[in-house]
Amino acid sequence: MNPPDFGSQPPGYPGRLFIVEGIDGSGKSTQLTLLAQWLRSEGYPVLFSEWNSSPIVKATTSRGKRRRLLSPLTFSLIHATDFSDRVEREIIPSLKAGAIVLADRYVYTAFARDVVRGVPPQWIRSLYGFAVVPTQAFYFRVPLDVALRRILSARPKLKHHEAGMDLNLHPDVRESYRIFQSRILEQYEQMVGEFGLAVMDATRPVEAQQRQLRRVIRPLLPKPRGRVDHALV
């Protein structure tokens, strides 16, 4: 049994798929928002795709989280369920229609998070074998301390799973979060070479990062077909 792992199939759609990845506090979402504004101003139809968007699966995920029903395996599978629905019904149709699809987190988030939870790396890579390979994925590399300062200085209320509390790393939520994030960071670093992630220095000024992002993306874009801002939202 040797099914294709994620990454082995070429995309082959007229649209483009760009991904930003990185730990919380890496500033990737800000960069993606700026990128979307630029692409729209250039006349491209842009679609934003987010985690946890399918309403029915979302109800199950929330229930599982709220009642602490989720194990590493079911956590992994329920997120893959949601993700597959998004791929089948949102991302692929948009790519077929020629849209520029921007996703804040993609399969790499699942690979990092689930492997830290003890899910076998090869299994998770074949589980996501159906996912479209991005035109380019960007990894926002940031030192752990910097990211933690950005996140924790806002005194957030960290959720149980978000802090990795299900892993019994530390009884204190913030401490657990630190350890969990550091392990996720290790996973990202390993994936840079494996998946050819473009590394962004996320400690640089916002504008400098955005210029770099646009420089990489520009040659990968299709020729604009005119102003079609309203074709897709």
Question: Where does this chain bind other proteins (CB under 8 A)?
Answer: 1-4, 54, 56-57, 59-60, 63-64, 69-74, 77-78, 80-82, 84-85, 87-89, 117-120, 122-123, 126-127, 129-130
| Nearest residue (CB) to other proteins, 31 versus 54 | 54
C-alpha dihedral (84, 89, 94, 96), degrees to nearest 10: 90
**Strands, E, within 27-122: which ranges?**
46-49, 100-104
| Nearest residue (CB) to other proteins, 7 versus 156 | 7
| Nearest residue (CB) to other proteins, 29 versus 126 | 126
| Nearest residue (CB) to other proteins, 69 versus 208 | 69
For the record, the structure tokens of 144 come out as 């752990």
Least CB distance from residue 141 to other proteins, whole Å? 28
For residue 139, what are the β-bridge partners? 21, 199
Whole-number Cα distances in Å, 233 to 10, 14, 94, 100, 166: 26, 18, 11, 11, 37
In this structure, the strands spanning 46-49 and 136-141 are unpaired
Q: Which residues contact 34 (CB under 8 A, 6 or more apart)?
A: 206, 210
Least CB distance from residue 63 to other proteins, whole Å? 7
d(CA 166, CA 176): 10
Least CB distance from residue 114 to other proteins, whole Å? 8
| Nearest residue (CB) to other proteins, 100 versus 131 | 131
Least CB distance from residue 94 to other proteins, whole Å? 14
Please state the φ and ψ torsions of residue 16, each to the nearest 5 degrees.
-130, 150
Least CB distance from residue 116 to other proteins, whole Å? 11
d(CA 83, CA 53): 8
In this structure, the strands spanning 100-104 and 136-141 are unpaired
| Nearest residue (CB) to other proteins, 41 versus 122 | 122
d(CA 121, CA 112): 9
| Nearest residue (CB) to other proteins, 9 versus 37 | 9
For the record, the structure tokens of 3 come out as 């099914």
